[in-house]
Amino acid sequence: MNEFVYLASQSPRRRQLLEQLGVRYELLLPDAGEDSEALEAVKPGEAPAAYVRRVTGLKLDAAVARLARRGLPSAPVLCSDTTVALGRTIYGKPEDGRDAARMLRELSAHTHRVLTAVAVQAGRRRLDALSDSRVTFAALSPAQIRAYVASGEPMGKAGAYAVQGRAAAHIARIDGSYTGIMGLPLHETARLLQAARVRMAA
């Protein structure tokens, strides 16, 4: 039985969600020279589900190499990535406030998908899963978009919003995994960790 996992994510939400499962973790964050943003580039014509699975795999490869390079004790490595998609259009993290406002205008009054891929490397085994949820935004006025962008919350978030934050006031409907939309689907993650023989709270 593995007593802990390495979490290769800078997201405080993913840390909170792992704690909710009662899983002990150590952070395995990129070195100063690593460019994790470069891994998130979208290939031309790439479907959203294929994209988020591929990026998660690349991030996990980088984390496993980081673990070996640092000579740290062996344990499973967990990686996750989230993307927002409207049709086949992929919405990553906004570059700036103007980009965030553009994304929110396009998502306003529409239903979009939130896809979160999770992957665990346990020895030579790689386990993965995909959470696919749908979120419907109410119509957002220009003033509401400006106020939300000014709050700073959209920055660093796929699709320029955080479901657990102020954006919740504008979400009319959710179908799927709330924790998946937050960035770590707990049902799928728990199943992967069980398969990787990671200890969880009873």
Measuring CA to CA, how many Å separate 119 from each of 77, 80, 96, 186, 194?
Answer: 8, 6, 29, 13, 13
- Run of H or E residues at 27: strand 25-27
**Residue 31 bears catalytic tag:** no
The rounded distance, in Å, linking the Cα atoms of 23 and 58 is 24
Whole-structure pTM value: 0.95
Q: What is the pLDDT of residues 54-88, one digit of tens each?
A: 999 999 999 999 999 999 999 999 999 999 999 99
Give the amino acid at 143.
A
The rounded distance, in Å, linking the Cα atoms of 75 and 16 is 20
In contact, 101 and 151? CB cutoff 8 Å: no
> Tokens 């400006």 identify what position?
146
Domains and CATH numbers, the chain: 5-195 (3.90.950.10)
pLDDT band with cut points at 50, 70 and 90 for residue 176: very high
The rounded distance, in Å, linking the Cα atoms of 193 and 195 is 5
Which of 81, 99, 132, 175 is an active site residue? 81
Mean pLDDT for 29-52 is: 89
